[in-house]
Amino acid sequence: MNKFTGTGVALVTPFLKNGKTDFDSLGRIVNHVIKGGVEYLVIMGTTGESVTLTKEEKKDILKFIGEVGNKRTPVVYGVGGNNTLEAARELEHIDASMADAILSVSPYYNKPSQAGIVQHYKTLSSATKLPIILYNVPGRTGSNLLPQTTLEIAAKCKNIIGIKEASGNMEQIMYLIQNRNKGFLVISGDDAITMPLIAAGADGVISVIANAYPKQFSTMVRLALQGKIVESRKLHYQLLDLIPLLFAEGSPSGIKYVLSQMGICQNYFRLPVAPVSKKLEQKINTLIKGI
């Protein structure tokens, strides 16, 4: 579980103009974030536009990242959805040599009860021996994975080792930190509140901005984990104004624009994601010049 303390980066999936995966750019991103000091990679999440990729494309990307990463950092692979049995079948066929853990988003659209969410994760837990990290993001799923439910799932499913908490609810997340069993990871899912959450006892972050600024962000996280809050705070405020702009017109449009300005990947997407507006580009450009 210590593998997933610190900074995980939710990798974007770069595309070519024709819509195909841009593997050259993907290789640059992987090397960029690893050299920047992140502790692990997270692929096939929201930031990776996973819902627009076919199963074959996902397998190809996982294999490619394994080859480029060459075991330099652990890999967390996103498997989830609102069809429990389909997600379980996908988990049964994951090559455990390619992934170190699974990130699984709470079921979306169905708006299940808390009891339904418990049964969902019990089913997924029994489908794989890999560690699973829960993912609570009510703004996207339409339902909140309550902290009491998270603790119940963790108690019943021994291979569920933590949660990426993106509710933005500090009180809820601190309740989890206070009442979790020893070793259960509470991971920030919001870049902007990562430093204060670590100060409250969280174990790190799965970050979007670390695609572009892995050194600054992972250093901030490590300093906070070491209790060096004053030093960590300086880096926190250096990046803070940029973070909301990355999500102002949807994600991953903001972070891909930044990466395109850095020459790391091109600014292409799969619909329904679209590029940011010219107005937002100007705001982002002003801020990244100062970083």
Tokens encoding 118: 């418990």
Is 122 catalytic? The answer is: no
Distance (Å, whole) CA 27 – CA 109: 33
Residue 1 pLDDT more than 80? no
H or E stretch covering 147:
helix 147-156
Indicate the residue type of 191: D
Residue-wise burial string across 245-278, b where 16 or more C-beta atoms lie within 10 A, e elsewhere: bbbebebbbbbbbbbbeeebbebbbeeebebbee
DSSP state of 106: P
DSSP state of 49: T
H or E stretch covering 256:
helix 253-261
pLDDT tens-place string over residues 105-144: 999 999 999 999 999 999 999 999 999 999 999 999 999 9
One of 40, 77, 121, 135 is an active-site residue; which one?
Answer: 135
Q: Which CATH number fits domain 2-229: 3.20.20.70, 3.90.950.10, 3.90.1150.10, 3.30.930.10?
A: 3.20.20.70
pLDDT tens-place string over residues 155-165: 999 999 999 99
Distance (Å, whole) CA 248 – CA 280: 8
Distance (Å, whole) CA 169 – CA 149: 15
One of 58, 164, 213, 257 is an active-site residue; which one?
Answer: 164
Taking residues 261-288, what's their average pLDDT?
97
Taking residues 67-87, what's their average pLDDT?
94
Question: What are the residue boundaries of the structural domains of the chain, listed by start?
Answer: 2-229
Is 135 catalytic? The answer is: yes
